[in-house]
Amino acid sequence: MSVVETASGAGLRFRGAPRAGRVGHWWRAYAADGTVRGALRFDPNMIATPGAVDRVVAAVVATRGRPGVLPVADLVSDAGQVWLITKAPAVPTVADLLGNGLDAAAALTIARDTGAALADLHQAGLVHGAFGPDTGVVGAAGQVWLSEAGLVPALQNVPVPPSLDTYAWAALARTLAGRVGDHPAVDLLHRCAGTAEREGLAAAVSLLDDGAAALRVQLPERTRLAAAAAARADTGTATSAGTGAGADAGADTVREEPVPDPADQETQLGQRARGRGRSREAVPARLRFGPGVGTAAPPPTWQAASKRRRRRPRRGRLRALVSGLVTLALAGGVAAYLWRQQADPLVVTGAVVAPAEDPGDQCDLTVDVVGTIQTNGQPGTITYQWIRSDGETSAVLDQSVPAGRFSTQVHLFWSFSGQGRYDATATLRILAPTGVEAAGQFTYACG
- Better-predicted residue by pLDDT, 309 or 73: 73
Q: Judge whether residue 293 has pLDDT over 60.
A: no
Range with the largest mean pLDDT of 18-27, 61-70, 286-295, 375-384: 61-70
Helix axes 185-199, 162-180, angle to 10 degrees: 170
Q: Judge whether residue 161 has pLDDT over 50.
A: yes
- Better-predicted residue by pLDDT, 247 or 210: 210
Q: How many CB atoms sit inside 10 A of residue 162's CB? A: 19
pTM of the model: 0.58
Percent of the chain at pLDDT exceeding 70: 73
- What DSSP state is assigned to residue 402? -
Q: Residues near 317 by Cβ (< 8 Å), separated by ≥ 6?
A: none
CA angle (164 as vertex; 158, 170 as ends), nearest 5: 165
**Kind of pairing between the strands at 81-86 and 72-78:** antiparallel
Residue 8 confidence (pLDDT): 32
- By three-state DSSP, how is residue 428 classified? strand
Q: How confident is the model at residue 116 (pLDDT cuts 50, 70, 90)?
A: very high
Structural domains in the chain plus CATH codes:
94-235 (1.10.510.10), 348-446 (2.60.40.10)
Q: pLDDT tens, 398-438?
A: 888 888 888 889 999 898 888 888 889 999 999 888 888 88
| For residues 37-50, average pLDDT | 91
- Average pLDDT of the chain, as a whole number: 76
Beta strands in 18-70 (DSSP E): 19-20, 24-30, 36-42
Residue pair 89/36 in contact (Cβ under 8 Å)? The answer is yes
Residue pair 426/410 in contact (Cβ under 8 Å)? The answer is no
**Phi and psi torsions of 248, nearest 5°:** -85, -20
Q: How confident is the model at residue 76 (pLDDT cuts 50, 70, 90)?
A: confident
Q: pLDDT tens, 233-242?
A: 655 433 333 3
Beta strands in 21-93 (DSSP E): 24-30, 36-42, 72-78, 81-86
Q: Using CA atoms, how far apart are residues 219 and 294, in angstroms rounded to an integer? A: 52
- By three-state DSSP, how is residue 401 classified? strand
- Better-predicted residue by pLDDT, 328 or 152: 152
Q: Using CA atoms, how far apart are residues 314 and 26, in angstroms rounded to an integer? A: 68
Q: pLDDT tens, 384-402?
A: 999 998 888 888 888 888 8
